[in-house]
Amino acid sequence: MLLSRLNRKEKLKFLDLAIQIVSVDGKATSHEERILNMMLAEVGDNIIKEYTFSLAADINETIDFFVKSPQAIRNIVYLNLLSITMSDDLYNTSEHFFLDNIRRQFKVSLAKRKELMELLYDERDLKEKARRICIT
């Protein structure tokens, strides 16, 4: 969501964080892989061709890159990381601590985190409503 607003380097660095978040608790679930594939489609083919699809050597360097970015960019990155973790019903402690560390370093307030979570729940509810309307 809104990943098209990121520049080339931000997209590549975001993918580093996305790969990390799906790997932090072990193997990626099918839901996490599906969400990641949707995000890959959003960042564009040119970025996909450039990306190595492996864990970054220094994740702290990637986080530091975004710490220096404008708050709007940090919010977009954090929103998409939240989306990955909420894509399935398994939100474990490893993901929680990883995300909370990023939230604090990105200076995303608890109030902003709540707003972003509400957006994701609204999106999930809308998709479920559309599914129900189309199927019945």
**pTM of the predicted structure, to 2 decimals:** 0.85
73: containing domain: 3-135
Buried b / exposed e along 63-86 (16+ C-beta atoms within 10 A):
bebbeebeeebbbbbbbbbbbbbb
Q: How many domains does the chain have?
A: 1
> Quick one: pLDDT at residue 10?
94
Q: Is the pLDDT of residue 35 over 80?
A: no
pLDDT at 90: 63
Cα(86)–Cα(90) distance, integer angstroms? 8
81: pLDDT confidence band, cut at 50, 70 and 90?
very high
Q: Which token pair is 43?
A: 């960042």
**Contact call for residues 62 and 13 (beta carbons, < 8 A):** yes
Query: Residue 53's pLDDT is what?
Result: 63
What is the amino acid identity at position 119? L
CATH value at residue 64: 1.10.3680.10
Q: How many CA atoms lie within 13 A of 107 on its CB side?
A: 9
